[in-house]
Structure 1
Amino acid sequence: MARISLTRMRKRFMRLHPVWRIYCIVLIILILYNEVFIYVLQKFKWSSINCKDANCLRILLVGDPQILGENTGRRLYRGLANYDSDRYLAWYYREVVDHVRPDVICFLGDLMDEGNTSNELNFKEYYERFGSIFPTHPTAKTIYIPGDNDIGGEAGEEVKESVVRRFRQYFSEKPAWIVNDNVTIYNINKITHERPLHDPRMVDDTGVDVSDRYIRIFLSHMPVLSAASTFTYEAIGKLKPNVIFSGHLHHSRYVRIHRKHLRAATYKPLSDDKKTAYKVHNFDLHYHQDTQELLEIIVPTCSYRMGVPDIGYGFAVIDGTTLKYTVLWTTNRFHQLISYIVVVSLPVIYLILVLLVKIIKTICVCSKRRTKLPL
């Protein structure tokens, strides 16, 4: 039966005009490239990071996935937009997890596009969708912190306690996570101005500061060193971070600045040009600690729906006292969708032109008949 069907399809294909045969071949090649090959080829560009220390920590950083909600876009194409965005996020997440082999996975907020405005039923649906896109890893510790799209708070927006509590209940948000004997991660929430008040591990039984014995990481949705406030200074003074990972800006950025000059913090591009796109950056965390220099890295968004051309995931490794960091860039899905629109529109334009030519010919013939005089 299958052979008969293939034979019939081949005969029908050969009956087509040569132009249409070429068009069908081009369309099939485009679909294969956009839906299969482009993803496979992109993976070969990603940098691998090898560890020197047997106890190194591999961290996958996921910035602003912002899965679409029920009120995104027009009803006409909302379902298709949600499906395509979810599929894109799920495919790349699966591949980057396989590439990184993480010990820790950190989601840096804005997990949902409409989390702060959704009712209980919608939030539960979004949570289940989120779990199907970003399934729980069997061995890696997974950390979720909220963003302004999850709990509110951007541009003076009210932050409701019930919404904050709901996020914590669903995503098991905590003030801090002790990853191992060498690394502690702190949840620094600039939206609600909440943070761990202190870390007992920083002082031994005799009251001596032993914070230099392990690495301290800040996780924040909004950049910590941007628009430094009393909250920022207190968090830095009490918890002494070696490195800060943030999201919110949707671009890959970083800043290194002395603790006394925070108000002059200016973020610079990181790995967003062709020469350094896949470079592995090395930072000496002990040097930063000794010089009281702060390091903050902004992780780009992993969603093509955020209106930025460069999309990817952060990949960090704590190897002894060295931080190794690179961006796993992903493809811009909008370019693929535009190519579909262009190719699909070609036959439509062709048919319109053919129709116009026929109409013009008909008008010309009719006008000639009317101008002829009777014998």
Structure 2
Amino acid sequence: MRLSKLRPLLANWPMELKIIFGVVVFNELIIYYYYSWAWWWKIYSICGSPEGDVTFLIASDPQIQGYRDESQALGWLTRWDADMFLFKGYSAALSAAKPSTVLFPGDLIDEGLSAPPAALSDYMARFRGLFLWPKRRWLILAGDNDVGGEAEPVNSGRVADYERQFGRLEGSDKAGQSMRMLWLRFYADAFRCQREIERHVASAYAHLAPNTPETGSAGFRILANHANLLTQRPTQFRPLLRLLRPHLVITGHRHRAFALRCDGCWSPAGAETMAPYPDKRGGPYATEPLDSAKFTLTDGIVYEIGSPTCSYRMGTLEVAYGYLAVRESDGRVCYVSLWLVSRFYWLGLYVLCLLLCAGYWLFRRIRAFGETERSRLIARRRSKSVHFGVA
């Protein structure tokens, strides 16, 4: 609708509807255009031109909402609102980042592990409609909410379901001219003992080894996994890192943005030292929430970037997409968190707007009622004075 046609229509609206219309336009349209512009400027000002870089947009833990755990009365509304938040935020992030690869580090569906087959098909169709557009390169991992692995064993049947929909959940492929991307479904909590961990690591390595460059060869190796690795006990992640020798690890799972550095993680057991990046006091997560980071990839040193959730339904107000640029020529890395203001604030703005409009409407009604009563009283007095004057 053209503005010239919309203007006379709005002119006839009461003030309450004009205010509600303005808030809806701001909340559902303007704020996402602002995100797109602000994120583009943030990426350019921190990371510079992407020429010569392999770029990633990281959409971690979207966990689209299911049907079982949502309210039976309002579930249709809460699911729709969560989906629209993901769709619009993803659209703005794509427009700002223009990545060569979109990475989903798992936990795609909130009830993916427990959903019956019919519901799972619907969830996957919703996920495709929200994220898998336009045509570009995607790398999709499965998280513990999708296939298990945190407090329960990995469900092999659910792994097969996800692989039929999204391709291999473990693999290796080129990410650039000389850079290689590795991805796994490694969950240390799913194993009962260290021997099971080492058996799974050896199996994964045997699967990836033909496509995995050896140490000292040209290029860098980026490992993607849903569960965090450097936050685990050394005995759990050490065999994995010693065999695969990644330079950079990208994970999700914790719903928080952080960066860690491990010196000597390619070395024999006991030689590694862990530190937050950038190095600040206060423990291994002192940098949370991580807004941006720059470092250079080096053999023998492993960096881990933990990307925050992009869904406002995950119990945190820190919601973001991650932008990652890796320069193939020298291994320079730039990471930026593309922060979204939590949807709860905008929903609160709706509530505030409705309360103000209701108060304004009530004030107008009371004022109109008072003016009506005053007019009646004045008319009554005049009629009495005219009556006595005639008599």
Equivalent AA in structure 2 for residue 141 of structure 1: R
Is the 1:299–1:314 contact (alpha carbons within 8 Å) kept by the matching residues of 2? yes
Query: What secondary structure, in the 3-state scheme, does the structure 2 residue paired with 1:337 have?
Result: helix
Q: CA 1:243–1:165 in 2, change beyond 3 Å: closer, same or farther?
A: same
Count of aligned residue pairs for this structure pair:
330
Deviates more, 1:261-270 or 1:312-321: 261-270
Deviates more, 1:186-195 or 1:118-127: 186-195
CA RMSD in angstroms comes to 3.0
* Pairing partner for 1:185 from 181, 187, 190: 181
Partners of 1:44 and 1:244 in 2: how far apart?
28
TM-score, normalised to structure 2, is: 0.75
Indicate the residue corresponding to 2:205 in structure 1: 196
Indicate the residue corresponding to 2:343 in structure 1: 333
* Pairing partner for 1:170 from 165, 173, 182: 165
Indicate the residue corresponding to 1:268 in structure 2: 285
Indicate the residue corresponding to 1:120 in structure 2: 117
1:343 equivalent in alignment to 2:338: no
Gap regions ≥5 residues in structure 1? 204-208, 359-375
Matches within 5 A, 1:32-111: 32-46=25-39, 47-48=43-44, 49-51=47-49, 54=52, 56-111=53-108
Partners of 1:5 and 1:303 in 2: how far apart?
34
Deviation of the 1:239 alpha carbon = 1.1
Indicate the residue corresponding to 2:380 in structure 1: none
Is the 1:215–1:242 contact (alpha carbons within 8 Å) kept by the matching residues of 2? yes
Partners of 1:248 and 1:351 in 2: how far apart?
47
1:324 equivalent in alignment to 2:341: no
Q: CA 1:264–1:227 in 2, change beyond 3 Å: closer, same or farther?
A: farther
Indicate the residue corresponding to 1:306 in structure 2: 314
Query: What secondary structure, in the 3-state scheme, does the structure 2 residue paired with 1:306 have?
Result: coil
Partners of 1:221 and 1:244 in 2: how far apart?
10
Is the 1:249–1:300 contact (alpha carbons within 8 Å) kept by the matching residues of 2? yes
1:288-344 deviations in Å (ceiling 9; x for gaps): x2xx33211100100111121111111111112111111111231110001111221
Is the 2:169–2:185 contact (alpha carbons within 8 Å) kept by the matching residues of 1? no
Query: How many percent of aligned residue pairs carry the same amino acid?
Result: 23
Indicate the residue corresponding to 1:252 in structure 2: 257
Partners of 2:297 and 2:5 in 1: how far apart?
67
Is the 1:252–1:269 contact (alpha carbons within 8 Å) kept by the matching residues of 2? no
Deviation of the 1:52 alpha carbon = 6.9
Deviation of the 1:59 alpha carbon = 1.1
Q: CA 1:71–1:190 in 2, change beyond 3 Å: closer, same or farther?
A: same
Indicate the residue corresponding to 1:216 in structure 2: 221
Equivalent AA in structure 2 for residue 196 of structure 1: Y
Indicate the residue corresponding to 2:193 in structure 1: none
Deviation of the 1:74 alpha carbon = 1.0
1:173-224 deviations in Å (ceiling 9; x for gaps): 2422322441112223222655333534666xxxxx5544111111111101
1:255-304 deviations in Å (ceiling 9; x for gaps): 1122234678754355737xxx4x4x321102xx2xx3321110010011
Query: What secondary structure, in the 3-state scheme, does the structure 2 residue paired with 1:116 have?
Result: coil
Query: What secondary structure, in the 3-state scheme, does the structure 1 residue paired with 2:96 have?
Result: helix
Partners of 2:9 and 2:37 in 1: how far apart?
39
1:283 equivalent in alignment to 2:295: yes
Deviates more, 1:90-99 or 1:114-123: 90-99
